[in-house]
């Protein structure tokens, strides 16, 4: 192997930082200036009692750029670049309160094969499955959603998504007019189409989710409209919203206004301990009940009189 070839095969390295909320923007800009190949930010307190949820739903404050303590992971082409970035950052005034957690090699992997191995077909009902494009559908599948992991939330692996899809399958045929509010990948809208809906609108605050929904709908030969939340107009036979409890409470009057008389509202992203507060938030408009539960998450539904 030539020297040039060996250099081209350098192992990438990650620089891992712990950064307080006030310094996130400055650190991110500095990493960009230092030619980081990528930068990811996550809650350093995730999976602990100090974990924070950042929202970005209509009627709520814009999401912050980071958490009170964020873990920032920056990818560099080699170890020298990662360690030089750590040294340069540590000398900056804005780095006060930040901490270098480590510099680590990224093992060489067949990333495509590794990613694909993590996503197997997901059973919603014995005859309704979510199947990545690189898998053959199970023999018993009668309805299939083809969906690959991507930028938008909703691949069918989370209990909240599965419960929504199970409910839709159990109600088939669903009413013709459906609103998927906070559509993510569009999976719930596509599931409704697979079970009878024909006039489907999917909305999300994230333009990437809107585009993902359109692409996934095309891949499943489903006709729907996708757009930002202000595209949601009128009443629908079924309104689906798989978000989180806090934005769902804020959105209560809006979501209820989109349900036609006799129509259904289906809410997910709710922990079992949050059931009472959701009931109270929706009580002026609809009487919510728990329709399903899985792994500590619940599905709440209501039918408009």
Tell me the mean pLDDT in the region 117-126.
82
Q: Is the dihedral of CA 216, 221, 222, 223 positive or negative?
A: positive
Cα torsion for 30, 33, 36, 37, to the nearest 10°?
140
- DSSP state for residue 48 in the 8-state scheme: S
CA distance 8 to 146: 36
Give the mean pLDDT of 31-41. 90
pLDDT digits (tens, 9 = 90+) for 169-182: 999 999 999 999 99
Q: Does the structure show a pLDDT above 70 at 50?
A: no
Return d(Cα 71, Cα 24) in angstroms, integer: 10
Q: Is the pLDDT of residue 285 over 60?
A: yes
Does residue 156 register a pLDDT over 80?
no
Nearest partner of 301 among 265, 260, 274, judged by Cα? 265
- CB-based contact 161:242 (threshold 8 Å): yes
pLDDT tens digits, residue range 136-152? 899 999 999 998 765 45
Residue range 104-125: average pLDDT?
73
In the predicted model, is pLDDT for residue 48 greater than 70? no
pLDDT of 132 reads 86
Whether residue 58 contacts residue 66, with contact meaning beta carbons closer than 8 Å, is answered with no
Q: Is the pLDDT of residue 9 over 60?
A: no
Query: Is it the case that residue 65 has pLDDT exceeding 60?
Result: no
């Amino acid at each position: 192997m030539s020297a040039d070839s060996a250099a081209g095969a350098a192992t990438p390295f990650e620089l891992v930082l712990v950064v307080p909320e006030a310094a996130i923007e400055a650190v991110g800009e500095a990493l960009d200036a230092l030619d980081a190949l990528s930068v990811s930010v996550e809650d350093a307190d995730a999976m602990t009692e100090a974990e924070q949820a950042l929202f970005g739903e209509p009627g709520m404050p814009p999401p912050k750029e980071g958490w009170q303590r964020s873990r920032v992971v920056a990818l560099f082409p080699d170890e020298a670049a990662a360690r030089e970035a750590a040294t340069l950052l540590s000398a900056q005034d804005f780095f006060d309160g930040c901490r270098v957690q480590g510099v680590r090699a990224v093992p060489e992997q067949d990333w495509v094969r590794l990613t694909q191995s993590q996503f197997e077909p997901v059973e919603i009902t014995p005859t309704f499955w979510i199947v990545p494009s690189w898998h053959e559908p199970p023999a018993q599948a009668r309805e299939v959603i083809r969906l690959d992991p991507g930028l938008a939330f909703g691949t069918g692996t989370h209990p909240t998504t599965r419960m929504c899809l199970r409910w839709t399958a159990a109600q088939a045929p669903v009413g013709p007019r459906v609103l998927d509010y906070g559509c993510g990948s569009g999976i719930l809208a596509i599931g409704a189409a697979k079970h009878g809906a024909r006039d489907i609108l999917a909305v999300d605050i994230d333009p990437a989710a809107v585009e993902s929904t359109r692409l996934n709908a095309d891949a499943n030969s489903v006709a729907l409209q996708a757009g930002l939340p202000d595209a949601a107009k009128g009443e629908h036979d079924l309104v689906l919203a798989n978000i989180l409890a806090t934005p769902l409470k804020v959105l209560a009057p809006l979501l209820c206004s989109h349900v036609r008389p006799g129509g259904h509202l289906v809410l997910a992203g709710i922990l079992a301990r949050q059931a009472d507060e959701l009931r109270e938030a929706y009580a002026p408009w609809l009487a919510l009940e728990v329709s399903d539960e899985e792994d500590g998450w619940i599905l709440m539904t209501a039918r408009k009189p």
